Amino acid sequence: MKLPSRPATHLTEAASWRLLQSLAPETWIVREVTERDYGIDAYIEITSAAGEITGDLISVQLKGTDSIEWKKPKTTAGAEPAKLKDLEDRHLTARSPSIATSTANYWERLPVPVFLFVADISAHAIYFAPVEQTIRREYAKLASQDSISFPLVKGFSLSEDVGGPTVEWFAKRERLHRDFVYQISGLVSHAESFHDFIETNQGRDSFMEVDADAHLRFRALYNSCRMAAAYLGIEWAVDSLQSLYKSDRAQFKDEYVWLHELTLDRALVQIESIFPTILRAAIDLIENVEGDYWRRQDPILHAVCSSNALGWLIHRMEDNLKRRQ
């Protein structure tokens, strides 16, 4: 007598879920979604090391495969021979199973960071890819293809000690994206006025109180630059606002004044040194790296970033810095 049998796809799916449950960090709460035909298989809530429920969520689609075909990196020039094998292994690359572009469109619209987890059953490993970044970089494919695959890096594995923290780092960066869109629009559109503000508010009377209007403009400049630097991966070597206020209070002993010109001057010198770097990185991202995405999503911002006027302004900033060094 014939009996029902489990399809191979069901076996692979079950093995993938067992792998995820065994490899997920203890700080993750994995919540499986019962209806999985819409591109999301699970939501993961990230708790703190102390077990606090943070509300930080990521969404996951889990794909299983019997094995992954890895390719060697194009170059490992400069690596020490003893470390070369480990370097090559960690930087092996592959492509994920194909995903329908309709699903990728859906992922790009979700407010929660999305990850593709690919379970390699034979290797007993799960590799992850932050999908929104790839979608923005390969945005034209969403309109011209029926499916899309995502790059996998062998070092991006939940089996690695840094696997969980790396997922969380990518998630934090993706949560900054909406703020980045808002803040970088302000930085680009007001780049010249911010540059003028930086120049005209240095070398003033050190003991004067910074007036309310200048104080608010400084905070707008500070917060926009800090947020953009975090998103773009640029080191933010500028004193925190809290430390600026604290040092100002300690130096001037004036409990009724938040900020004096001397403290503002010091902060603006620090911001001035990084401002052109932030603008250049943002322009490269918007004009080149994610050009198709920004051209369709915000054509005005893309046009401004492609203009010669902004490029000349950055050159002027950099020349001013060189003269002062």
* Per-position DSSP letters for 105-173, written without gaps between them: HHHHH-SS-EEEEEEETTTTEEEEEEHHHHHHHTTTHHHH-SEE--EEETTSBTTSTTHHHHHHHHHHH
Domain boundary (151, 172, 193) is at 172
Pair (186, 159) in one structural domain: no
For range 11-27, the mean pLDDT: 91
Q: Tell me the mean pLDDT in the region 16-39.
A: 88
User: For residues 271 and 266, what is the distance between their CA atoms, to the nearest angstrom?
Assistant: 9
Average pLDDT over residues 216-225: 95
Same domain for 210 and 95, yes or no, is no
Q: Which of 7-16, 216-225, 237-246, 263-272 has the lowest mean pLDDT?
A: 7-16
200 and 255 assigned to the same domain: yes
> Is residue 287 domain-resident?
yes
Tell whether 2 is covered by a domain. no
Q: What is the pTM of this model?
A: 0.84
Average pLDDT over residues 25-37: 85
Q: Are β-strands 42-47 and 125-130 bridged in parallel, bridged antiparallel, or unpaired?
A: unpaired
| Residue 247, both tokens | 């040092």
Alpha-carbon distances of 257 from 48, 88, 248, 253, rounded to whole Å: 37, 57, 9, 9
- CA end-to-end span of the chain: 88
Give the separation between CA 146 and CA 169, rounded to whole angstroms.
30
pLDDT confidence of residue 61 = 95
Convert the pLDDT of each residue in 125-172 to its tens digit. Answer: 999 999 999 999 999 999 999 999 999 999 999 999 999 999 999 999
Q: Do 130 and 239 belong to one domain?
A: no
Q: For position 271, what pLDDT does the model report?
A: 95
Residue 74 is assigned to a structural domain of this protein: yes
Give the model's pLDDT for residue 80: 58
Strand 93-95 to strand 151-153: parallel, antiparallel, or no bridges (unpaired)?
antiparallel
Supply the pLDDT for residue 38: 80
Strand ranges of the sheet holding 53-65, from the earlier edge strand across to the other edge? 28-32, 42-47, 53-65, 114-120, 125-130
State the residue range of the domain holding 50.
8-172
Total structural domains in the chain?
A: 2
Q: Do 242 and 164 have their domain in common?
A: no
* Percent of all residues in the chain with a pLDDT value above 70, rounded to a whole number: 94
Provide the pLDDT for residue 6. 75
Please check whether residue 182 lies inside any domain of the structure.
yes
For residue 3, being part of any structural domain is answered with no
In this predicted structure, the answer to whether residue 15 has a pLDDT above a threshold of 80 is yes
What percentage of the chain has pLDDT greater than the value 90?
A: 73
Q: Are 198 and 268 in contact (CB under 8 A)?
A: yes
Q: What is the pLDDT of residues 161-215, one digit of tens each?
A: 999 999 999 999 999 998 999 999 999 989 999 999 999 998 888 899 999 999 9
**Cα dihedral sign for 120, 107, 114, 289?**
positive
Residue that the structure tokens 């930085």 belong to: 187
Taking residue 179's Cβ as centre, other Cβ atoms within 10 Å add up to: 15
pLDDT at 244 over 90: yes
Across the range 313-317, mean pLDDT stands at 91
In a domain, 71, yes or no: yes
Q: Is the pLDDT of residue 5 over 80?
A: no
Question: What's the one-letter identity of residue 146?
Answer: D
pLDDT at position 76 is 54
What's the one-letter identity of residue 199? E
State which of 146, 172, 198 marks the end of a domain.
Answer: 172
Same domain, 66 and 122: yes
Block residue for tokens 């004036």? 254
Asked if residue 116 and residue 184 are part of one domain, the reply reads: no
pLDDT score of 218 more than 90? yes
pLDDT at 37: 65
Q: What is the mean pLDDT of residues 289-309?
A: 93
pLDDT at 72 over 70: yes
- Taking only Cα atoms into account, the Rg of the chain, rounded to an integer number of angstroms, comes to 24
At which of 129, 147, 172 does a domain end? 172
Residues 20 and 46 reside in one and the same domain: yes
In the block, tokens 């206020």 appear at 245
Indicate whether 143 and 61 sit together in one domain.
Answer: yes
Query: SS3 of 316, please?
Result: helix
Instruction: Say yes or no to pLDDT of 10 above 90.
Output: no
As a whole number, mean pLDDT of residues 273-302 equals 94
Residue 1 resides in a domain: no
Within 10 angstroms of residue 303's Cβ, the number of other Cβ atoms is 12
pLDDT for the residue 81: 55
Q: Look at the block and give the residue holding tokens 């007598």.
A: 1
Based on the fold, state whether residues 71 and 166 are members of the same structural domain. Answer: yes
pLDDT of residue 158: 95
Task: Clarify whether residues 98 and 214 are in a common domain.
Answer: no
Is 120 inside any structural domain?
A: yes
Task: Give Dmax over CA atoms of the chain in angstroms.
Answer: 96
Q: How many CA atoms lie within 13 A of 115 on its CB side?
A: 30
How far apart (Å, rounded) are the C-alpha atoms in residues 277 and 54? 33
Q: Are residues 111 and 185 in the same domain?
A: no
CA-to-CA distance for 131 and 114, rounded, in angstroms? 6
